[in-house]
Amino acid sequence: MNDKPVKVILDTNIWVAFLIGKDVSFVLRNLLIDNSIAIVTTKILQTEVKEVTSRPKFARHFAPEASRKLLAFLQNRCMDYPLGDIPRRCRDPKDDYLLELARVAKADVLITGDKDLTDLRQFGQCRIMTLADFQREFQP
């Protein structure tokens, strides 16, 4: 039996949906407390989460404190990987860093709602899927 945790990258759109309280909240809460899952991050992802969650359009959905707590979680409780040069690999160049993170971290899964990424379905050993697909496959 493999006791290594499943390394998972959560795209910014998943974190934002979590803060807003969309349907993903229950699934994501369970994922975050599951010891068989290791959340993978990088400074670029943390910066993107900070920038996106500070946009005025989200102010009515969650308090700034929620964003600060999320950033603290990403910085203190997740596996952080530095990235060097980021090659062009995706239709949307803004998503290339996630594919490089998957490569560097040897991630098992990238969870996203971004069609530019989900259309790839796989990058190296990393499977790319929606949160719903991940839940069906990995969580009872």
The domain ranges of the chain are 6-138
Q: Annotate 105-133 with b (16+ C-beta within 10 A) or e (fewer).
A: bebbbbbbbbeebbebeebeebbbbbbee
pTM of the model: 0.93
The CATH number of the structural domain formed by 6-138 is 3.40.50.1010
Q: Is the confidence at residue 1, as pLDDT, over 60?
A: no
> 97 with 84: CB under 8 angstroms?
no
pLDDT for the residue numbered 139: 66
pLDDT digits (tens, 9 = 90+) for 102-128: 999 999 999 999 999 999 999 999 999
- Mean pLDDT throughout 133-137? 89
pLDDT digits (tens, 9 = 90+) for 34-93: 888 999 999 999 999 999 999 999 989 999 999 999 999 999 999 999 999 999 999 999
In angstroms, the Cα distances linking 46 to 36, 67, 81 are: 22, 11, 11
At position 85, the amino acid (one-letter code) is D
pLDDT digits (tens, 9 = 90+) for 24-37: 777 788 888 888 89
> 24 with 18: CB under 8 angstroms?
yes
pLDDT for the residue numbered 140: 57
Q: Could you tell me what percentage of the chain is helix, strand and coil, using 3-state DSSP and rounding each to the nearest 5?
A: 50, 15, 35
